[in-house]
Amino acid sequence: MKPFVLNVALAAIAMSCANSAASRAAWEPVRPVEFIVPAGTGGGADQMARTIQGIVTKHNLMKQPLVVINKAGGAGGEGFLDVKTSSGNPHKIIITLSNLFTTPLATGIPFNWKDLSPVAMLALDEFVLWVNAEKPYNSVKDYVDAAKKAPSGSFKMGGTGSKQEDQIITVGIEKAIDAKFTYIPYKGGGEVAVQLVGNHVDSTVNNPIEAVAQWRGGKLRPLCVFDAQPMAYDEPIADGKAWKDIPTCKSQGLAMEYLMLRGIFMSPKATKDQIEYYVELFKKVRATPEWQEFMKSGAFNTTFLTGADYAKWIEAEEKRHEVLMKEAGFLAPGN
Amino acid sequence: MEELANLFHGFAVALQPYNIMLMIIGITLGVIIGVLPGLGGANGVAILLPLTFSMPPTSAIIMLSCIYWGALFGGAITSILFNIPGEPWSVATTFDGYPMAQQGRPGEALTAAFTSSFVGALFAVIMITLVAPLVAGFALRFGPAEKFAVYFLAFCSFVGLSKEPPFKTIAAMMVGFALAAVGLDSITGQLRLTFGVTELLNGFDFLIAVIGLFGIGEILLTMEEGLAFRGGNASINLRVVLQTWRELPAYWMTSLRSCLIGCWMGVTPAGATPASFMSYGIAKRLARRGNNFGKGEIEGVIAPETAAHAAGTSALLPMLSLGVPGSPTAAVLLGGLLIWGLQPGPMLFVEQKEFVWGLIASMYLGNLAGLIVVLTCVPIFAAILRVPFGIIAPLILVLCAIGAYSVHNSTFDVMLMLVFGVLGYLLKKCNYPLAPLVLAIVLGDKAEEAFRQSLLGSQGSLGVFFSNGLVSTIMALGLVALFWSPIQEGYSRLRTSLA
């Protein structure tokens, strides 16, 4: 049995040594880099982190291995606190989702994004309003009429997690159309989509990647996207319709916009050189065909921001979450 | 017929020399991963996932699923030899497997476990091959209420069918529920019972609890009994495999029942853990020698192992056809599929035939290869018990500590494991069963979540648990299982009074 272990170990060493084409950055990792995912295995952030890990390994983009570690406890609070307490350790990066804002606000754990060093925004994840394809709602208007007509609270919206992005959007819809939904939280986006296929909920706001398979299989129907403009991808997915053909919710009279950050942060007190190293690394990742394929499969918004622009964007988004969550009554006592 | 042609094409793909090599490497790595508690299949697959990115998707999934089979086989080894289950579904295997090892029959127990795993997995694969399209849709009927009903049935069959005093079982289960409640409440999104301690954000992990309760607790008990490891006179030659095989066909009824329970639980994404417990509980009641269960009865190894592997294998069906992972390991595999550009879902069977059937063919071959690898090693595994306790105990302790640490890379967990060890020792001394506690830690928060999701959907009405034929049937089965003893008693009294 031993030789096999040895082989694998040797292969790993060989892989990390074979990389000679790294850039001449002023700083480089000297140990394996931990890539923290503040969410469970199989979710959107986890998929993205593992895709990045695969791309880095395949194209030899780093001399040191990149190791994905899930720290999902307390709606990701475990991961954020772990990075926060690793001050000055440049071998730890974290990928965030909206729980960067929502978890501290909803649970009151001692954490704020300013505790970390921002590196780059990799992409923004879209949200789409989905209904079961068997239902007679062919447009946002049909849907809104049905939701308003249903007795208060009997219309069920399924979503991922509690007091997080999906529920924030749900509250936004409720306000916009003056109806009352019952929000049912599940553990993961894939499960939510399947609950909708099984007609256990009436609608969801799944990310494209979570529901695309069911759309292609003719089980779900997208009604609108919660973005300012339609998505950019024009390759047909189902019935000759592409992501591009899904109208924005606003244009259909449902005034709610929401995009989720997929961004990278480092431990506190990172130096400029260290941040620069990771920014360059992610630029290389973004240039690979695998990454572009991944962006297409999940219909991501590919905005890339670094430095002051990135920090400004986060700050505005934090304020917005504070307002949205306060209005919804999601703040933890003391926040 | 088209399926059969596809399957043979899959065999052709899986039988390429390169893929066979990957299969054997995968099985071996998997067994090693399975033997190390804590480093379960999910972690193992996650660590090795990047190694496969440069391979074609079919080869990669063959290797990864073989690691998964290997880990499943490996988990049984520590359960039987040291009473340390590495995965939730091997807990039930320890009940009779460990006593058998102590009586000097580790070879028999291991052979029965490995063979049953193989039978369960084979049954499930055949089911997947023949009725995949029919069964795939079944999982869609499972909303929160149906899921809760399945967990309810698992708990009830444990309380009602166990021979322990029911109140001790319930007491142990309640401790488990309390531990499961720690951490984030997923319905309200607020922290519960963490008292501001960061380490508790994640709640109590099953693995930490089980390594402590079973592994450390067992070492403490053995120390008290005089530092002797029982089972040292184990026979260590391959003949034991053949002898055991001669015995196994007599238990075909248990095997078949366990296969059916396993497949059903795997397809309804409830998973392998309830399947193994339920199958053990039912076998205990229905087997002729059921009274001996827990004292080293071979049937008590066959029932949970068969069901767990039938469930684990059939759980891949909802994963491939619906994109719902039935287990953490399946979740990591799902991540892998996406990286290779394969989108699990209803279209996978149509668009990626070569991949799907290659995977199914590798399930047949991987399991067969795994069985051969582990069976030839049975004497070596059994020989471990001949090592003096003074040498093996520190090794087990170190193994346990590494296992507990590697779950979340946290030293706090190692401390926690020791605390659980003491708790396990005390509970055993007071004759409280540990299994219901573990079952409640594993399924407690899932059951709670499903219960509360159902009530949210029904706006607080309990009627939702009897709202359709499927959920009512499962709930009714649960109630029958819970009150099995009084029902049986009443029935026999009725018969005597009539006679």
pLDDT above 70 (res B136):
no
- Contacting residues of B for A72, CB less than 8 Å apart: 202
Q: Please determine, for residue B393, whether its predicted confidence score (pLDDT) is greater than 90.
A: no
Return the half-sphere exposure (C-beta side, CA atoms, 13 A cut-off) of residue A318. Answer: 15
Torsions phi, psi for B102 (to 5 deg):
-70, -30
- Cβ distance of B339 and A47 shorter than 8 Å: yes
List, as one string, the DSSP characters of A174-199.
HHHHT--EEEEEES-HHHHHHHHHTT
Phi, psi for residue B67 in degrees, rounded to 5? -60, -40
* CB contact residues (below 8 A), chain B span 226-265, against chain A: none
Beta-bridge mates of residue A224: A129
In angstroms, the CA A321 to CA A316 distance is: 9
| Closest in B186, B324, B459 to A194, CB measured | B324
pLDDT at A23: 44
Do residue A197 and residue B140 have CB atoms under 8 angstroms apart?
yes
Lowest mean pLDDT among A242-251, B31-40, B101-110, B325-334: B325-334
Least trusted range by pLDDT, from A202-206, B119-123, B133-137, B157-161: B133-137
Whether the Cβ atoms of residue B62 and residue B55 lie closer than 8 Å to each other: no
Question: Residues of chain A whose pLDDT is less than 70?
Answer: 1-25, 41-42, 335
CA dihedral (A37, A38, A40, A44) positive or negative: negative
DSSP B330-375: HHHHHHHHHHTT---STTHHHH-HHHHHHHHHHHHHHHHHHHHHHH
How does residue B332 score in pLDDT terms, banded at 50, 70 and 90?
A: low
Determine the Cα–Cα distance for residues B442 and B110; give it in Å rounded to an integer.
25
CB contact under 8 A, B50 and A41: no
- pLDDT at B274 exceeding the cut of 60: yes
Written as one letter, the residue type at A176 is: A
Chain A contact set for B203 (CB, 8 A): 73
Contact between B446 and B148 under an 8 Å Cβ cutoff? The reply is no
Q: Dump pLDDT digits (tens) for B162-186.
A: 777 888 889 999 999 999 999 888 8
* B40 and A CB contact within 8 Å: no
Report the pLDDT value the prediction gives residue B302, as an integer from 0 to 100: 94
The pLDDT of residue B40 = 60
CA distances from A218 to A131, A234, B322 (A): 11, 18, 13
B142 contact A CB<8A = yes
> Residues B478, B152: contact at Cβ < 8 Å?
yes
Of B450 and A12, the one with more pLDDT = B450
Q: Find the mean pLDDT for residues B206-217.
A: 84
Give per-residue pLDDT as tens, B29-75. 888 877 766 566 666 676 676 677 677 878 888 888 888 788 778 87
Do residues B465 and B475 make contact, with C-beta atoms less than 8 angstroms apart?
yes
Q: How confident is the model at residue B301 (pLDDT cuts 50, 70, 90)?
A: very high
pLDDT band at B325 (very low <50, low <70, confident <90, very high): low
Chain A residues whose beta carbon lies within 8 Å of the beta carbon of residue B338: 47, 51, 209, 297
> Are the C-beta atoms of residues B311 and B268 closer than 8 Å to each other?
no
Do the beta carbons of residue A38 and residue A74 sit within 8 Å? no
CA distance B435 to B97: 14
> Which of B191, B199, B407 to mutate to probe the A interface, most A CBs <10 Å?
B191
DSSP state of A151: P
Q: Is it the case that residue B420 has pLDDT exceeding 90?
A: yes
Burial (Cβ within 10 Å: 0-12, 13-18, ≥19) of residue A45: buried
Q: Which residues share a beta bridge with B183?
A: B192
pLDDT at B220 over 70: yes
The answer, yes or no, to whether residue B3 has pLDDT greater than 80, is no
Q: Which of B53, B148, B193, B377 to mutate to test the interface with A (most CBs of A within 10 A)?
A: B53
The pLDDT assigned to A6 comes to 46
Quick: pLDDT tens for B344-376. 776 777 777 778 888 888 888 888 888 888 888
| Residue A38 three-state SS | coil
What does the pLDDT look like over A21-70, one tens digit per residue?
444 548 999 999 999 999 876 678 888 888 898 889 888 899 988 888 88
Q: Is B323 left (phi over 0), alpha (psi -120 to 50) or beta?
A: left
Interchain CB distance below 8 Å, A213 and B339:
no
Give the integer Cα–Cα distance in Å for B499 and B495.
6
- State residue B37's pLDDT score: 62
Question: Which pLDDT value is given to residue A14?
Answer: 46
Mean pLDDT along residues B407-426:
89
Average pLDDT value for residue range B459-470: 91
Q: List the 327-346 stretch of B: residues with Cβ below 8 A of A.
A: 328, 331-332, 334-336, 338-339, 341, 343-346
Q: CA-CA distance, B7 to B359, in Å (whole number)?
A: 10
CB contact under 8 A, B194 and A74: yes
Cα–Cα distance measured from residue A245 to residue A262, given in angstroms and rounded to the nearest whole number: 24
For B150, residues 6+ apart whose C-beta sits below 8 A from its C-beta are B142, B265, B268, B270, B274, B474
Residue (of B74, B73, B63) closest to B23 by Cα position: B63
Q: What is the dihedral of CA A9, A10, A14, A15, to 10 degrees?
A: -30
- Mean pLDDT to the nearest integer, B275-287: 87
Contact call for residues B307 and B125 (beta carbons, < 8 A): no
pTM for the complete prediction?
A: 0.84
Contact (CB<8Å) A73/B29: no
CB pairs A-B closer than 8 Å = 158
Contact map slice: B 453-472 vs A, CB within 8 A: 453, 456-457, 459
8-state DSSP, B290: G
Mean pLDDT along residues B23-27: 87
Name the nearest CA neighbour of B299 among B262, B252, B265, B263. Answer: B252
The answer to whether B192 faces chain A, any CB pair under 8 Å, is: no
B143–A200 CB contact, under 8 Å: yes
Res B1 pLDDT > 60: no
Rounded distance between C-alpha atoms, residue B436 and residue B170, angstroms: 8
pLDDT at B268 over 80: no
